[in-house]
Amino acid sequence: MNAEDRHFEIARSLFREANDAFFLFDPGTQIVVDLNPAAQRLTGLEKHVACTMSLGDLFLSSGPGDLDRLTLALNRTGCFHSRGGYYLRRTSNAALPVDGKLMTLKPGPNNDQLVPVDGSTVTVNEV
């Protein structure tokens, strides 16, 4: 196994085993392409169902234009920092206020975006 393959395997293990919920979005379609088990537990969604949902299907915002800013960030590189007011939809109970960060995973034509979510806090610091 070469170094690149080893790094990919480590990253995949971290994604799979993390306690924080990770959502991986295609920035062009804004559709979930992958989510980790923590995201499945937090939302109550099965993977095949979540992978048909868009950013707007999963996240709500309390302010006008907040979700639009998050959507625009999917097409940018680097990180997007929110100003609060984001919530994660779930299959049961009310939407959950979340902490998160939006970041580019890799350069190139398919700049998949990772949204790690921490549902243990009441306010959103970064998305």
Is the pLDDT score of 83 beyond 70?
A: no
Q: Is residue 126 part of a domain?
A: no
Q: What is the pLDDT of residue 122?
A: 30
Which residue range is the domain that position 25 belongs to? 3-118
Total domains, the chain: 1
Q: What is the pLDDT of residue 4?
A: 81
Q: Is residue 39 part of a domain?
A: yes
Q: Is residue 62 part of a domain?
A: yes
- Global pTM reads 0.75
Residue 78 token pair: 């680097």
Task: Measure the CA–CA gap between 106 and 120, rounded to whole angstroms.
Answer: 28
Q: What is the pLDDT of residue 125?
A: 29
111 vs 27, higher pLDDT? 27
CATH number of the domain to which 25 belongs: 3.30.450.20
Please state the φ and ψ torsions of residue 106, each to the nearest 5 degrees: -155, 150
